[in-house]
């Protein structure tokens, strides 16, 4: 018993005194939350940087295509992944941080597309969906796609899906509402008046920083990060960043 107790205390002390002053975080272009061209790198990456800074740790972000970012982070090639929505399957490979952000995932459509009110996703079986590769959406969505109840074509990025939507090559594209309109306004401004969203969203979800389970230091980093995140929420810094998100500075 004494030996076990000593081992536990040794582990806890090692976690507490984790000798690290910099982490590398894999991320992607998901404006205005993560964006290499935006001020502070976007809202979520700004929160991540500030939370770690409160604990004396610097952050280097590596911008990658989303699928590559997920795969490499899963293999512990990076210290963390920024960021992911709620996803039970992804939690098999990652420890999820405390909540970073709130999101409403909605259906973008081309104005004039006759899509009735829906109760169940299967009600939309006659329409062609666009999907972005390696995105989570919902378990129900992918299950219906796998069964052939929903028709969905995957492409590597969101911009391509919006172009396909505007061209009438797909009927529906599920996307975070804020990010979706950011892409349209910045990349396809001449098309923004031709698109709209359905009233009923696909889901409301949350965003999290992910730490790979394969990395020995992940649980210690998770604890450190959550402490820093709590600090910036307690002193109003997070709320200030969020108000700036709503004002459009990112």
Condensed to tens digits (0 to 9), the pLDDT of residues 75-128 reads: 999 999 999 999 999 999 999 999 999 999 999 999 999 998 999 999 999 999
- The predicted structure's pLDDT at residue 12: 47
Tell me the pTM: 0.82
183 neighbors 31 (Cβ within 8 angstroms): yes
- The C-alpha atoms of residue 76 and residue 147 are separated, in whole angstroms, by 33
Tokens of 21: 């002053």
Q: Band of the pLDDT at 248, cuts 50, 70, 90?
A: confident
pLDDT over 60 at 141, yes or no: yes
- The C-alpha atoms of residue 250 and residue 244 are separated, in whole angstroms, by 8
Q: Which residue has the higher pLDDT, 213 or 4?
A: 213
Average pLDDT, the chain: 92
- Per-residue pLDDT of 156-181, as tens digits, reads 999 999 999 999 999 999 999 999 99
- The predicted structure's pLDDT at residue 18: 59
Domains of the chain: 20-102+206-247 (3.40.190.10), 103-204 (3.40.190.10)
93 neighbors 202 (Cβ within 8 angstroms): no
- The predicted structure's pLDDT at residue 6: 42
- The C-alpha atoms of residue 221 and residue 225 are separated, in whole angstroms, by 6
pLDDT over 60 at 72, yes or no: yes
Q: Band of the pLDDT at 240, cuts 50, 70, 90?
A: very high
């Amino acid at each position: 018993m004494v030996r076990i107790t000593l081992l536990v205390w040794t582990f806890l002390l090692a976690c507490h005194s984790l000798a690290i002053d910099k982490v590398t975080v894999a991320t992607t272009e998901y404006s205005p939350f993560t964006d290499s061209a935006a001020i502070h790198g976007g809202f979520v990456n700004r929160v991540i940087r500030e939370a770690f800074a409160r604990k004396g740790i610097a952050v280097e972000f590596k911008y990658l295509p989303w699928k590559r970012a997920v795969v490499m982070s899963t293999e512990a090639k990076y210290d963390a992944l920024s960021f992911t929505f709620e996803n039970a399957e992804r939690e098999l490979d990652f420890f999820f941080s405390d909540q970073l952000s709130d999101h409403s995932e909605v259906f973008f459509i081309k104005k004039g597309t006759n899509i009735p009110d829906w109760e169940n996703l299967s009600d939309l079986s006659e329409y062609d969906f666009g999907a972005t590769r390696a995105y989570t959406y919902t378990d129900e969505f992918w299950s219906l796609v796998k069964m052939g109840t929903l028709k969905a074509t995957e492409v590597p990025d969101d911009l391509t899906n919006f172009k396909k939507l505007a061209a009438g090559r797909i009927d529906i594209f599920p996307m975070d509402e804020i990010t979706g309109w950011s892409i349209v306004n910045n990349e396809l401004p001449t098309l923004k008046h031709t698109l709209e969203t359905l009233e009923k969203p696909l889901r409301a979800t949350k965003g999290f920083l992910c730490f790979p389970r394969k990395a020995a230091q992940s649980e210690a980093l998770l604890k450190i990060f959550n402490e820093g995140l709590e600090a910036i929420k307690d002193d109003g810094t997070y709320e200030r960043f969020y108000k700036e998100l709503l004002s459009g500075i990112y």
